[in-house]
Amino acid sequence: MDAKTLLERVEADGVYLVSLQFTDIMGTIKSVTIPAGRLEEAVERGVWFDGSSIQGFARICEADMFLVPDPSTYRVLPWSVPDRLRARLLCDVHGPDGEPFEGDPRSVLKRAAQRAAQMGYIFNCGPELEFFLFNSDQGAGTRPVPHDVGGYFDFSPRDEAQIVRSDIVKALTAMGMDVETSHHEVAAGQHEIDFQYADAVTAADNAVSFKYTVKAVAAAHGLYASFMPKPVFGVNGSGMHVHQSLLDPGGENAFYDTHGQFKLSDIALQFIAGQIEHARALAAVVAPTVNSYKRLVPGYEAPVYICWAQINRSAMIRIPRYSPGREDSTRVELRCPDPSCNPYLAFAAMLEAGLDGIRNQLAPPSPVSDDVYEYSAEELESHGIDTLPGTLGDALEALEQDDTIRNALGDRAYQVFCRAKLAEWDEYRIQVTDWERERYLHML
Ligand code: GLU
Ligand code: MG
């Protein structure tokens, strides 16, 4: 959509306010709102804002930054009230010099996509976000109560959760996402809604929009939606598995080879090898919270071991079954990401890890067909299978030593990300938890 068409659409839709959005380094959505009448100027010249208060953006001395709206991301927010209709536009952040700001996560991903384009590839991603619906926000901070008692793929036509999920699907569709499936996930109160894959930047735009759309609809039902990776001990956590493929210059799926194992091409195998090679550092970006590592434990269909497999849900990378006649559906599913990540940074790091495998023609280890959770330490060692980091601290250490993943983020984003995440880890490390008191207070 060009600027002229955008302005006509805004007028025709009767939009009153426009929310200009971007994310900070953590992936939190930020917004500057303007009256629709000011959009023409905003599109022509951008909108200045004080970047110094956004985590990871301008330093005080260079506070002014400006937002450049991307007309293709225009959507009317389906939950906004008719007489104050609000639309959103996702924006690129530019520095005072007029250049794209290198610490803007969307720009980090755009640069990674450009590097892939120089090699002749377009990176496609299909993220699958899982989430919980909890009863209202009150008390949810400490003891969240799941909104329903349903389980995996449960269907009950009068189920309240089903009604909320249908409303979410409707809102996501209005937000321009092509919803493919939705289902109740394994844990009580847990759901998954999948939408169609797209090029990485569009897919990341969709993932951030997905989160706030789900939260908005849940709130309208008096519920609280959370994308926390492991909100409840002892049950499944929420992942954001990402289905990935590369398109070659002819627009064909570069991961498909009719003669390959699981129909995978050499390029796909090298991409997998790259992600396996960089898995421990990659984890810091795709599973970036203290809580992420409470999800990456055995027994809950989340990966722990750095290996790949067909079908097997305990492996870090899974190759979904090939549908005959659907070459375009050949893809590589990375299972360690969770929805607490910043999707722009996560996709950039995933892409760079995979491209590194292609550039260096790495070969992946043999795929595993067993349930890796059942392997003993000796079996893991004899198969040469390493583990994902056990804590955010371990992941950050791996990130520090991995130039490929650091370069994927670029200096600015890497520095800010690391500083914030090390502070998060240090703060957590010194906490005294309920678990410790219950375990030791009387015993010791
Ligand atoms: N909830 C699981 C996870 O944390 C995944 C379940 C599934 O395979 O969909 O990754
Ligand atoms: Mg799932």
Choose one of 152, 297, 305, 335 to mutate for the ligand 1 pocket test, by most ligand atoms within 8 angstroms of C-beta. Answer: 335
pTM of structure: 0.95
Residue nearest to atom 8 of ligand 1 (CA): 301
Q: What is the pLDDT of residue 127?
A: 98
Q: What is the pLDDT of residue 380?
A: 86
Q: For the segment 137-156, what is each residue's pLDDT rounded down to a tens digit?
A: 665 566 787 877 776 666 66
What does the angle CA 95 – CA 204 – CA 235 come to, to the nearest 5 degrees?
130
Q: Contact at 8 Å (CB) between 417 and 345?
A: yes
Measure 65 CA to ligand 1 centroid, in angstroms: 39
Give every residue of the chain whose pLDDT is below 50, as ranges.
Answer: none
d(CA 374, CA 387): 14
Q: Where are the alpha helices (DSSP H) in 259-391?
A: 266-277, 279-286, 292-295, 343-359, 377-382
Q: What is the pLDDT of residue 255?
A: 96
Tell whether ligand 1 has an atom less than 6 A from the beta carbon of residue 301: yes
Tell whether ligand 1 has an atom less than 6 A from the beta carbon of residue 294: no
* Residues known to be catalytic: 50, 128, 130, 185, 192, 241, 313, 333, 335
Measure 113 CA to ligand 1 centroid, in angstroms: 27
- In the chain, list all ranges with CATH 3.30.590.10: 111-435
Q: Contact at 8 Å (CB) between 191 and 166?
A: no
- Ligand 1 atom having least distance to the Cα of 190: 1
Neighbours of ion ligand 2 (CB under 5 A): 192
Measure 156 CA to ligand 1 centroid, in angstroms: 22
* Selection from 142, 124, 145, 116 nearest residue 133 by Cα: 145
Q: For the segment 51-68, what is each residue's pLDDT rounded down to a tens digit?
A: 877 776 766 556 788 899
Measure 185 CA to ligand 2 centroid, in angstroms: 6
- In the chain, list all ranges with CATH 3.10.20.70: 3-99
d(CA 261, CA 266): 10
Domain 111-435 is found in CATH 3.30.590.10 = yes
Query: String of b and e for 138-161 (b: at least 16 CB within 10 Å)?
Result: eebeeebebbbebeeeeeeeeeeb
Topology of the domain comprising 3-99: Ubiquitin-like (UB roll) (3.10.20)
